[in-house]
Amino acid sequence: MTAPLSRERYAELIDARVREPESLRRALVRRARRSIPGTDGRLVILAADHTARGILAAGGDALALADRFTLLDRLIRSLALPGVDGVLASADILEELAWLGALEETLAIGTMNRGGILGARWELDDRISAYDCAHVQEYGLDGGKVLLRVEDTDPGVARTLEMVAAVTTDLADRGLMCMIEPLPYVKDADGRALLDASPERLIRVVSIASGLGSSSAHTWLKLPAIDDMAAVAAATTMPIVMLGGDPGPNAQSTYDRWEIAMREPNVRGLVAGRTLLYPADGDVEAAVRRAAALVHGDPR
């Protein structure tokens, strides 16, 4: 088992924010980098951008992600395991991980539009509130990630579409990955936005996301793994990484869908957070090793 984060080191991190704040940004900029595809063109990325949108629940715990020490500890232990390629997070978490030495030769993807706070009236008008393209490049990140939730009645979606297209173009011009997470949504009788990941609607938003921007050369898609993943993957040539979501009581079904989906040639891995970092049995290393073996093969 990888050495956990100590309370002493965590206290030093907190003190550094007061006494030497530039050390956090400096650690991120100066970290050793690697190529995105690695040796096999497949990726396991840990998703840790939930807190920046106010998502703190995992399983039955409404505040599971709220404890920063625990979150960083689980990320550090997981990033040190074979077959884990990187992390997707907001600036606070990426800088903390870099300062703690956990991002050497590791992909760092900056989350960008976290303005669609969960449950807010403006949820689908998802503005940039984390990284912008210039800082993704300036701070030495390997790419940026944008969320695009498509619902046919909300005018905020049009603004989000325009923003995602501009980000896709800007990142492509800089030679950086643009990871788009397109998701189909509907609204219930109370006006709340709800995910509708039916094959037809998911294929539709995949097609929309694939055509965004002035270049698609650096676009990757982050998608839910559904039963008919073959039809979804057939709608694009973009590399696809699958999301995890809240693990819930039956994580086995998530692993089963991942395994089936990995048979498609453009499905290239996972970007998963709570499923791996907060498994129901509490065994983080076992969950991450299982996911890494599914994507890269068993290192043994």
Rounded percentage of the chain residues whose pLDDT exceeds 70: 98
Q: What is the per-residue pLDDT across 202-221, written as a single tens digit (0 to 9) for each?
A: 999 999 999 999 999 999 99
Task: Name the percent of the chain lying above pLDDT 90.
Answer: 89
In terms of residue numbers, what domain contains 225?
7-296
Please tell me the predicted confidence (pLDDT) of residue 217: 98
Would residue 211 count as lying in a domain? yes
Q: What domain count does the chain have?
A: 1
Q: What is the pLDDT of residues 96-149, one digit of tens each?
A: 999 999 999 999 999 999 999 988 888 999 999 999 999 999 999 999 999 999
1 inside domain: no
Region 261-289: mean pLDDT is 95
**Taking Cα atoms as reference points, which of 118, 194, 184 lies closest to residue 149?**
184
We report the CATH number of the domain holding residue 19 as 3.20.20.70
Residue 248 has pLDDT above 70, yes or no: no
How many CB atoms lie under 10 A from the CB of residue 243? 17
How does pLDDT run across 63-73, given as a tens digit for each residue? 999 999 999 99
Q: In the structure, what pLDDT confidence band is assigned to residue 60 with cuts at 50, 70 and 90?
A: confident
**Given this model, what pLDDT does residue 247 score?**
65
The pLDDT of residue 82 is above 80: yes
Record the pTM: 0.95
Tens of pLDDT along 181-208? 999 999 998 889 999 989 999 999 999 9
Spatial separation of the C-alpha atoms in residues 164 and 60, rounded to whole Å: 33
Whether 188 is in a domain gets the answer: yes
Here the tokens at position 176 are: 């950086």
8-50 pLDDT per residue, tens: 999 999 999 999 999 999 999 999 999 999 999 999 999 999 9
Q: Which residues of 186-219 are buried (b: 16+ CB within 10 A; e: fewer)?
A: eeeeeeebeeeeeeebbbebbebbbebbeebebb
Burial class of residue 22 (count of CB atoms within 10 Å of its CB; 0-12, 13-18, 19+): exposed
CB atoms closer than 10 angstroms to residue 146? 27
Residue 107 forms part of a structural domain: yes
Q: Give residue-wise pLDDT tens across range 98-107.
A: 999 999 999 9
**Structure tokens given for 276:** 């791996």
For residue 239, being part of any structural domain is answered with yes
